[in-house]
Amino acid sequence: MAYIYPPPESGADQRLSFYWDLLRSALQVTSPKWGPYVLTTASDGMNADRSQILLSRSDTISLLVRTTSMERERVLLPLRIPLDKGLTGYRLFLIQKPTQDRLNKVRTLEDLKAFSIGQGAHWVDAEILRSAGLTVEPGSNYPSLFKMLAVGRFDLFSRGVNEISKEFTEGHASNGDLAIEKNLMLYYPLPRYFFFARTQEGEKLSQRVDEGLRMLMKSGEYERQYQVFKRQILADLKLSGRRVFKIANPTLSPETPLDRAEYWDTLEKELKAPR
């Protein structure tokens, strides 16, 4: 059984490493029943939009991991287990240091609407932000958004708490004014799933991973790996006392498992945010 996934979008892009490690564990634990597997990256480079097109055609790759939307679930086969327990929906902002003074005055969502937010043109986040009345400046791909922020094309680059620390560390080397905004957090429910092709083979590949993830949950291994991941990504972030703006996610499918508390992490202990 061949599990071929997209390569990183850039040499320093490690955003998805946790998910592929989790996938490897799910495949390993199901080996007694399902047999051997191949887990590897595709040799051809591709951005997120291109990978979705290729997967829908069962061409080059056999799965990907992305945040979800009704449209994405219509085209691809979702495995509806939020892999990072929704951490991607907790958003901080990469900024240029001089912007912080203006952001210190933000008290309400209306105040935040005065700032432009960079996102990928076809990322589901762009639609979510626009639906809340926020201003989105689209970028053609992931690496270009860092360059756009550096030259002032937008004010804020919205990033998940699971992404921002490494991005700041790597980006600061070439952009000395890069900073993580100090006071604010944006939240919307945003599960990240494994997606497969809507084919017989895609269903088979998905079934094995589903069984593997549930076995890992039952044994406690899923939670162990998740907590290691969570500690690593939150270690350098200052979350306590941030002002949190919660907005709706109108792109979610009715089948999103929002009522499964064990699937979600609220970050309540870390935040202790003012209401």
CB count within 10 Å of CB 4 equals: 16
The DSSP string of 114-142 is TSEEEEETT-HHHHHHHHTT-EEEEESSH
CATH architecture of the domain covering 2-86+190-240+248-271: 3-Layer(aba) Sandwich (3.40)
CATH of domain 89-187: 3.40.190.10
Quick: pLDDT tens for 120-167: 988 899 999 999 999 999 998 888 999 999 999 999 999 999 889 989
- Res 275: pLDDT: 40
Whole-structure pTM value: 0.88
Q: Along the chain (275 residues), what's the average pLDDT of each consecutive run of 10 residues?
A: 86 78 98 97 84 92 95 97 95 97 97 96 93 95 92 96 90 92 96 97 98 98 95 88 94 96 83 52
Domains 2-86+190-240+248-271 and 89-187 fall in the same CATH topology: yes
Give CA separation, 7 vs 40, 42, 46, 191, 215, in Å. Answer: 9, 6, 7, 21, 27
Instruction: Read off φ and ψ for residue 245, nearest 5 degrees.
Output: -105, 120
Q: For 197, which DSSP code?
A: -
Domain boundaries in the chain?
A: 2-86+190-240+248-271, 89-187
- Res 267: pLDDT: 83
